Amino acid sequence: MSSTSSLLPLEPAPGSPPFLHAESGGDPVKWAAEHRDPLRALVLDHGCVLVRGLGLADPATSEAVFRHLTDGLMPDHEPFAPRRRYADGVYSSTKWPPNQQMCMHHELSYGLRFPGLLLFACLEAPASGGATPLADASAVLRDLPRELVSRFERDGWLLTRAYHEEIGASVEEAFGTDDRDAVERYCRRHAIEFAWQDDGSLRTRQRRGAVLRHPDGGPPCWFNQIAFLNEWTTEPEVREYLVDMYGADGLPFNTRFGDGSPIDADVVRTINEVYDAHTVRAPWQDGDLLLVDNIRTAHGREPFEGPREVLAALGDPVLRADGEVSGV
């Protein structure tokens, strides 16, 4: 552990992410400003850290804390599902059915520009469930079958999307506009193939690397949304409905090997089983703050009951190019 991170002692929590208790004295913004460097050092050392007792209770205070702890926030772009926007770079959790698991993934790992740091503030914990599970992406890469990793290292992975008004993010929600020329310019700048359909809808394809090295060093990481956005992760009855409604090639999102070959259910199951073996979790409590290194650590969301309000911020944007990333 670095010398600065040792100024904030972590508490042992087997099966949970590293966590510490904050003594904010009722002023979480001041605490964040004073503890920015050691807290970020903890994230660099451990990949994530849960701060308990900070007392985050509203979006404005949470945003102020987020801004003290990051070098900058970035807007959400190309989301796969809508979010509520509270401020520039501060959003609600992705709208996903509460009774369904949101599988492990890295935020915006299909983009050329993505957040290096994720920040979550729990304003209202659910009655049950709803944890944000976390997994060490370098350990996941190490334990995946070597032949599978080699294929993805060689060919990358492909995300296909079909934008429908009825489900998932709309064109306007994903690109910030429904103007065709503007959407096409965005796609060209971000290496996204696009095709407008006869009914006016849009389909896209983007190929990305599946393994990434951290800009601050360390081992390579399994960095993608191959399993999460694949058709075989979807609940069987939901997948059947979507295929009946839109056809196998018109699913709102799906993933393939980088050469365009389909990914079968066994591959998705294998990836998710390795994630499960490395998953840690802690039930949310009101006022919690969670910081996650988006490259080193995958995250998800477990099913829950009752109200749940967890804000998310996308911090420290980085650019990717051929398996390497750099700050912007």
- CB neighbour list of residue 96: distance below 8 Å, 6 or more residues apart: 81, 102, 301
Mean pLDDT of 202-218: 92
Per-residue pLDDT band for 202 (boundaries 50, 70, 90) equals very high
In the chain, which residues fall in CATH 3.60.130.10? 17-135+283-316, 139-273
Residues across the chain: 328
Q: What pLDDT does residue 2 have?
A: 42
Average pLDDT across the chain, whole number: 91
Identity of the residue numbered 29:
V
pLDDT higher than 80, residue 166: no
Report the distance separating Cα 31 and Cα 37, nearest Å: 11
pTM here is: 0.92
3-class SS letters over 62-94: HHHHHHHHCCCECCCCCCCCCCCEEECCEEECC
Q: What pLDDT does residue 52 have?
A: 94
pLDDT higher than 60, residue 255: yes
Question: For the domain bounded by 139-273, which CATH number is listed?
Answer: 3.60.130.10
Q: What is the DSSP string of 270-300?
A: HHHHHHHHTEE-----TT-EEEEETTTEEEE
3-class SS letters over the chain: CCCCHHHCCCECCCCCCCEEECCCCCCHHHHHHHCHHHHHHHHHHHCEEEEECCCCCCHHHHHHHHHHHCCCECCCCCCCCCCCEEECCEEECCCCCCCCCEEEECCCCCCCEEEEEEEEEEEECCCEECCCCEEEHHHHHHHCCHHHHHHHHHHCEEEEEEECCCCCCCHHHHHCCCCHHHHHHHHHHCCCEEEECCCCCEEEEEEECCEECCCCCCCCEECCCCCCCCHHHCCHHHHHHHHHHHCHHHCCEEEEECCCCECCHHHHHHHHHHHHHCEECCCCCCCCEEEEECCCEEEEECCEECCCEEEEEEEEEEEEECCEEEEC
- Token digits of residue 79: 């989301």
Q: Which of 52-61, 77-86, 168-177 has the highest average model confidence (pLDDT)?
A: 52-61
For 230, half-sphere exposure in the C-beta direction (CA atoms, 13 angstrom radius) is: 27
pLDDT higher than 80, residue 65: yes
- Token digits of residue 89: 């770079």
pLDDT higher than 80, residue 8: no
Tell me how many helices (H) and strands (E) the chain has: 9, 20
For the stretch 169-190, pLDDT in tens is 889 989 999 999 999 999 999 9
Q: What pLDDT does residue 167 have?
A: 80
Q: What pLDDT does residue 157 have?
A: 98
pLDDT higher than 60, residue 3: no
For the stretch 82-95, pLDDT in tens is 788 998 889 988 77
Per-residue pLDDT band for 6 (boundaries 50, 70, 90) equals very low
> 36-46 and 59-69 helices cross at what angle (nearest 10)?
80
Q: What pLDDT does residue 1 have?
A: 38
Q: What pLDDT does residue 7 have?
A: 55
- CB neighbour list of residue 191: distance below 8 Å, 6 or more residues apart: 112, 206, 207
For the stretch 104-152, pLDDT in tens is 999 999 999 999 999 999 999 999 999 999 999 999 999 999 999 999 9
Give me the torsion for CA of 263, 266, 270, 276, rounded to 10°. 110
Report the distance separating Cα 17 and Cα 281, nearest Å: 6
Mean pLDDT of 29-57: 95
- Token digits of residue 25: 């004295």
Q: What pLDDT does residue 82 have?
A: 78
Report the percentage of the chain scoring pLDDT > 70: 96
Question: For the domain bounded by 17-135+283-316, which CATH number is listed?
Answer: 3.60.130.10
Per-residue pLDDT band for 322 (boundaries 50, 70, 90) equals low
